[in-house]
Chains A and B, each alone.
Chain A
């Protein structure tokens, strides 16, 4: 029978490294995707993901189960990613390279070339628009879009109320819409 996250945490707290390994295997991809959504760079996202689990390992003794494990691990990861964003200095050209890499890796099926150009331009501008959001607004968009988390869970991760999550999402979506008006 599969152990719950809390069971695994308790085993970790007793020094069982294999329990921690299981937790990492369950969440490493999700954590990476959220952090990538925030940082927009694979190497940085990988580095911050590693740091997230390292911090979690060091602090797991103090985890009392007040929140779910995934809320806790996301909170560590998002905070580290927001800190990294504030330190990050990216130029638009580097950003475009990331986008090119994304498009190459997607292996898009050839279709109407006009639609393809339109979609490409939309995505390019969307990525730029996401990057122009503040770290806090980007975080709510990423957590909602990638993980489909509830406002309550997002609030627990970011340390704010559901109302704040709702207003940040509303603001972020409006901002994105305003910047992409001509493509929609």
Chain B
């Protein structure tokens, strides 16, 4: 990178008064001696003058009394709850707060998703066995869930034609549930 390319980036801060005394002198000396950088300076100054004339000149003077009157009315007016909520939300989404919110949110999400891993016993106490499929090959079958003891029961009724096992006496009737 040559002198001019280095200097070009410094002309703006120099005109803005942001450089140290030593740096300013360096830039001033170069700009005075170099035609190209001298032109760059002129362009920047023209842009700045034009900006001033547009941005500064066009702003009308606001009459303070009417401005204050209007502001007082707004202050005395009760802000709707949803607007207050939005203001709070916009404060919370400001950059410094958001930087904290992101890792906190991630931590909360992971904790919620991992909750069951940390409390498996508690979880299993609350769960019944679930029957996902059943084929009783033509026999009558009943499914039962009992809340108090958290019991899942699959009950096979005796086939009307009789099982292979010979029974000495008639087996008792099926459970009374």
Whether B60 contacts A123 by the Cβ 8 Å rule is: no
Please tell me if the beta carbons of A144 and B16 are within 8 angstroms of each other in the complex: yes
Q: Which residues of A contact B58 (CB under 8 A)?
A: 36, 102, 105-106
A50 to B67, CA, bound (A): 8
Q: Is the CB of A32 within 8 A of B64?
A: no
Give the distance in Å from the alpha carbon of A58 to the alpha carbon of B84 in the complex: 10
Number of residues of chain A lying within 8 A (CB) of chain B: 44
Q: Which B residues lie within 8 Å of A170 (CB)?
A: 9, 12
Bound state CA distance, A55 and B62, in angstroms? 19
Question: Which one of A25, A127, A166 contacts B13 once the chains associate, using CB atoms below 8 Å?
Answer: A166
CA distance A50 to B75 in the complex (A): 10
Q: How far is the CA of A157 from the CA of B55 in the complex (A)?
A: 19
Query: Which single member of B54, B75, B90, B95 contacts A127 (CB below 8 Å)?
Result: B54
A146 and B87: CB pair below 8 A?
Answer: no
CB of A19 within 8 Å of the partner chain: no
Contact of A53 (CB < 8 Å), options: B46, B51, B53, B71 = B71
Q: Judge whether A54 and B75 touch: CB under 8 Å.
A: yes
CB distance from B94 to the nearest CB of A (A): 8
User: Which label, helix, strand, loop or mixed, suits the secondary structure of the A interface?
Assistant: helix
CA distance A169 to B17 in the complex (A): 14
Contacts of A146 in B (CB 8 A): 55-56, 59
Residues of A within 8 A of B13 (CB): 151, 166
Give the docked Cα–Cα distance between A36 and B62 (Å).
12
CA distance A133 to B158 in the complex (A): 84
Residues 7-31 of A, flagged 1 when their CB comes within 8 A of B and 0 if not, give: 0000000000000010011001100
Q: Across the interface, do A123 and B70 meet the contact criterion of CB distance under 8 Å?
A: no
Query: Is A36's CB under 8 angstroms from B68's CB?
Result: no
Residue of B nearest to A75 (CB): B94
Of the candidates A29, A123, A159, A173, the one whose C-beta lies within 8 Å of that of B44 is A173
> In the assembly, what is the distance between CA of A83 and CA of B90, in Å?
10
Q: Is the CB of A21 within 8 A of B59?
A: no
Please determine whether B54 and A105 come into contact, CB atoms closer than 8 angstroms: no
Q: Is the CB of B56 within 8 A of A33?
A: yes
CA distance A62 to B118 in the complex (A): 41
Closest 4 interchain pairs by CB?
A: A102-B58, A33-B59, A145-B51, A37-B55
Q: Which residues of chain A have a CB within 8 Å of any CB of chain B?
A: 21, 24-25, 28-29, 32-33, 36-37, 42, 46, 49-50, 53-55, 57-58, 83, 102, 105-106, 122-123, 126-127, 130, 141-142, 144-146, 150-151, 159, 162, 166, 169-170, 173, 176-177, 180, 184
